[in-house]
Structure formats: C-alpha cells, structure tokens
Amino acid sequence: MAKPTVVVLDYGSGNVHSAVKALEVAGADVELTADRTAVLEADGLLVPGVGAFDAVMTALRDARGGELIDRRLAGGRPVLGICVGMQVLFDSGVERDAPAEGLSAWPGAVTQLTADVLPHMGWNTVEAPGDSVLFDGIENERFYFVHSYAAQEWTLDSQPPYPDPKLTWARHGTRFLAAVENGPLSATQFHPEKSGAAGIRLLANWIGSLRAS
C-alpha cells in the first residue's frame, strides 16, 4: 500500500526539517513546499509555526497559506497545525498587549500564560480524552513544549451532525489547550517532532487517520 502523502507548508517558518524527518519516520511520503497544487492534493497538510504570532500570520498571508488551509478544510481534507501553527487557527493572538488577527478557523484568542516561569519550556503531561485519535496509546506520555502563549478557553459550540471536538489540556501555571481534534482540522501546542517516540507515535496516529479519510 502506498504511503499517505503529507505536505509540510513551506512559508518561511524557521527550521522545519525536523518535522519533515519525523513525518517520514512516522510513515508518510513527505514534501516541503508551498506549491498550490501539491498542498491541495496531498492526503495531509502540516502547518508548522515558530516565533511571534503576528510574524507567522504575515508569512502565511504572503504565501496565501490561509486560503490554502481554507480550501482544504472546505473539502474535508486533513490539516495539522503545530505550535504557533496551532495558535494562528484562532481568531487572534495577543502578544505584548498588541492583538493580531488569526485565521479564525476557531473562535477565541491566544493569550499569555499566567505562570511563575515563562516560557513554558520542556516536557509536560497532557489530559487527553479517551476517544482521542492523536493520543491513542500515548495518553500518559510526556511531550515537549516551548511557548509563552496559548489558547486557554474553548468556545466553539458543535452543531449536529458534526461531532464534538476532542480537546486535550495541559497545565503550566494556568490550564491551556495542548491539542484539538475537530473534524479534518487538528493541532498541537507542543512539538511532536521534538517529543521522541511519543511524538512519532502521535504523528503516526494522524497519518493513519489520513487513510481513513
């Protein structure tokens, strides 16, 4: 059976080669590109994100990344956001009291964590729902986080026939969303590509779901 194809969106967001390598190890045929046809036709699209919310949004707009993500989601085509690639899926990000507009795939704002030490850097456990696809078999593992901002609320009301989203939480000072699984759109605040065997398993779980979709 052919491997599922995954495009890592190449829009200038830092070093993404570790994500490419991790996806390959997890079982995907991977391409790093911003080519429109490749992005739209791949079985899965991974949206990385490193740095400030506003800078990532500017780079995404320049690459027409938001349009490509919208096109995929409109067709039920899976997308996975990582770190700031998760944050930009919300309405806005507020860094240094300056709000920046996000992609508005989900309602809500990304705000600074309230904690004694920032950034939240290192390994942490998560609270995953029992029916999670991403965390199947790794519910009790630890994952690698590097961030000072996160979505700390979930306000989207699901409407039948759409299923309720699967929300995974973590805590650093305050409770925040560590991952979301919402139909074809999933995201993690942590870096699976830096999370060792557990991160590879999570990516493999996502890649496995591409076959079903």
Identify any residues that bridge with 101 across adjacent strands, giving them in sequence order: 92
Assigned token pair, 68: 């490509």
Is the CB of residue 136 less than 8 Å from the CB of residue 128? no
Q: Which residues contact 50 (CB under 8 A, 6 or more apart)?
A: 13, 14, 15, 56, 83, 84
Is there a catalytic annotation at residue 193?
yes
Is the CB of residue 44 less than 8 Å from the CB of residue 6? yes
Catalytic residue among 120, 147, 172, 191: 191
- Which one-letter DSSP state was computed for residue 174? E
Is there a catalytic annotation at residue 83?
yes
Catalytic residue among 83, 141, 147, 181: 83
Assigned token pair, 82: 């990582």
Q: Which residues of 47-62 are buried (b: 16+ CB within 10 A; e: fewer)?
A: bbbbebbbbbbebbee
Using CB atoms within 10 A of its CB, is residue 134 exposed (0-12), middle (13-18) or buried (19+)? buried
Q: Which among 69, 79, 61, 72 is positioned nearest to 12, based on CA atoms?
A: 61
List active site positions: 83, 191, 193
